[in-house]
């Protein structure tokens, strides 16, 4: 129990490791997997769980030993490959190579996944290990405990150089940013520019703010349109028109956020403003959308977020990087 508790804490918190994963070759020259199949990873078979919410079972001869990162693709996905800066949702389970003992796992519940942004230079093990991962992939990674979890207090069962078997089911992969075609600029809509690190720059026009909600697709994506009941995966910035000051953003948390597009209901208010709901419905994945919400259609009395004065017009810019 002590081993399981220790790994659950380390694994589900940040999942950091030590040095960077070695980069191997790939059949796709545009995207290189972070490691290659090896003797250890090729010996691991994966059996699906019988019930939802249970991790798949790793079966392998023990003791299984690896001195380096090895990666096998047990099941090849058909989704988009995760490029640097894009994000993925995944489930993960870990087993001890010496005995086959289960260590820890994520929920393996469909709507409760882990999300990471792909970065081969990151200290986070999964951010650097899921380069080129595709939605639908099932991966087996064999590595040392220290690489996957970071340094741990050693005991007679687990040392830092012990082999750990990691199963990763890639659920979804998302765009880094809106990649659609630029639309014609409108002089009555704020100008949106992109910062190299991602956040939106928003420049107000020299006209009075609109008195009704206005939606403009700055970029038009080629992906699936958003429908009622979908969950949009977005990055966003929200700015007060009159002060040009940002009051909310997804970029501070490091990953895209989910926006539930359940229909607004006065008896059970939606998590998003009606104007945002109306502005996002029908927009396509890959689009960048600017939505201007006047005070009469914004937050109600006593609901104003910090940094939003009464009577303010609000500007939201969304990059729609995915949906489910």
Q: Per-residue pLDDT for 309 more than 50?
A: yes
pLDDT in tens, 97-130: 999 999 999 999 988 999 999 999 999 999 999 9
Nearest to 137 by CA among 186, 172, 105: 172
Count of Cβ atoms closer than 10 Å to residue 115 Cβ:
18
Going by the DSSP 8-state scheme, the letter that residue 280 receives in this structure is: H
Q: How confident is the model at residue 15 (pLDDT cuts 50, 70, 90)?
A: very low
Same structural domain for residues 162 and 187?
Answer: no
pLDDT tens, residue by residue, 250-271: 998 889 999 999 876 655 555 6
Report the number of distinct structural domains present in the chain: 2
- Write out the residue range of the structural domain in which residue 200 sits: 181-323
Check whether 10 has a pLDDT greater than 70. Answer: no
> Domain check: are 252 and 154 in the same one?
no
Q: Which of 29-43, 61-75, 107-121, 145-159 has the weakest average pLDDT? A: 29-43
155 with 95, same domain?
Answer: yes
Model confidence pLDDT, tens digit, residues 133-144 = 999 999 999 999
Between 187-196, 201-210, 221-230, the lowest mean confidence (pLDDT) is in 187-196
Look at phi and psi of residue 132 and say left if phi exceeds 0, alpha if psi is from -120 to 50, else beta: left
- Confidence check: pLDDT of 12 > 70: no
Same domain as 158, residue 232: no
Distance (Å) of CA 252 to CA 76, 118, 187, 277: 33, 16, 29, 23
Q: What pLDDT is recorded for position 18? A: 31
Same domain as 245, residue 316: yes
- Highest mean pLDDT (candidates 1-15, 37-51, 267-281): 37-51
Q: Are residues 165 and 16 in the same domain?
A: yes
Mean pLDDT over each residue of the chain, to the nearest integer: 87
Q: What's the pLDDT score for residue 24? A: 32
Would you call 57 exposed, middle or buried from its count of C-beta atoms within 10 A (0-12, 13-18, 19+)? Answer: middle
- Contacts made by residues 295-298, CB under 8 angstroms, sequence distance 24+: 296/211, 297/212, 297/213, 297/273, 298/273
Last residue of a domain, one of 173, 192, 226: 173
Residues 34-47, mean pLDDT to the nearest whole number = 95
Q: pLDDT grade, residue 194 (50/70/90)?
A: confident
Dist. CA 258–CA 236, nearest whole Å: 11
Please indicate, yes or no, whether residues 256 and 227 belong to a single structural domain of this protein.
yes
Inter-CA distances, 255 with 83, 134, 147, 249, 294, Å: 14, 18, 23, 11, 28
Confidence band, pLDDT 50/70/90 cuts, at residue 16: very low
Which pTM value belongs to this model?
A: 0.85
Provide the pLDDT for residue 304.
84
The CATH number for 234's domain is: 3.10.50.40
For 215-249, the DSSP string reads EEEEEE--SPBP-TT-EEEEEEEEEETTT--EEEE
Same domain, 34 and 161: yes
39 and 142 in a single domain? The answer is yes
β-bridge partners, 214 = 292
- For residues 248 and 316, the answer to whether their CB atoms sit within 8 Å is no
Cis omega before residue 6 (within 30°)? no
Task: Answer yes or no: are the C-beta atoms of 168 and 41 closer than 8 Å.
Answer: no
Of 139, 173, 207, the residue that ends a domain is 173
Residue 274's Cβ-count burial label (10 Å; 0-12, 13-18, 19+) is middle
């Amino acid at each position: 129990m002590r081993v399981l508790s220790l790994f659950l804490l380390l694994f589900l918190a940040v999942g950091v490791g030590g040095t960077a994963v070695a980069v191997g070759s790939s059949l796709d020259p545009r995207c290189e997997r972070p490691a290659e199949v090896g003797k250890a990873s090729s010996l691991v078979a994966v059996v699906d769980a019988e019930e939802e919410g249970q991790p798949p079972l790793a079966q392998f001869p023990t003791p299984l030993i690896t001195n380096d990162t090895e990666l096998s693709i047990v099941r090849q996905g058909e989704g988009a490959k995760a490029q640097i800066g894009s994000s993925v949702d995944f489930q993960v389970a870990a087993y001890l190579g010496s005995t086959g003992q289960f260590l820890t796992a994520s929920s393996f519940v469909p709507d409760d996944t882990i999300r990471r942004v792909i970065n081969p230079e990151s200290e986070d093990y999964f951010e650097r290990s899921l380069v080129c991962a595709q939605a639908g992939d099932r991966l087996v990674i064999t590595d040392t405990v220290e690489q996957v979890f970071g340094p741990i207090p050693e005991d007679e069962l687990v040392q830092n150089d012990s082999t750990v078997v990691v199963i990763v089911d890639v659920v979804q992969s998302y765009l880094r940013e809106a990649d659609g075609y630029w639309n014609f600029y409108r002089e009555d809509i704020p100008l949106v520019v992109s910062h190299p690190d991602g956040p939106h720059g928003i420049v107000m026009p020299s006209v009075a703010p609109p008195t009704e909600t206005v939606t403009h697709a700055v970029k038009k994506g080629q992906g699936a349109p958003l429908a009622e009941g979908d969950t949009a995966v977005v990055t966003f910035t929200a700015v007060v028109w009159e002060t040009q000051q940002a009051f909310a953003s997804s970029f501070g948390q490091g990953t895209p956020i989910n926006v539930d597009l359940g229909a607004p209901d006065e008896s059970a208010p939606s998590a998003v403003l009606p104007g945002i709901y109306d502005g996002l419905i029908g927009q396509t994945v890959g689009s960048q959308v600017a939505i201007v919400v006047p005070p009469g259609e914004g937050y109600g009395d006593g609901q104003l977020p910090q940094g939003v004065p009464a009577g303010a017009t609000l500007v939201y810019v969304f990059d729609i990087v995915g949906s489910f």
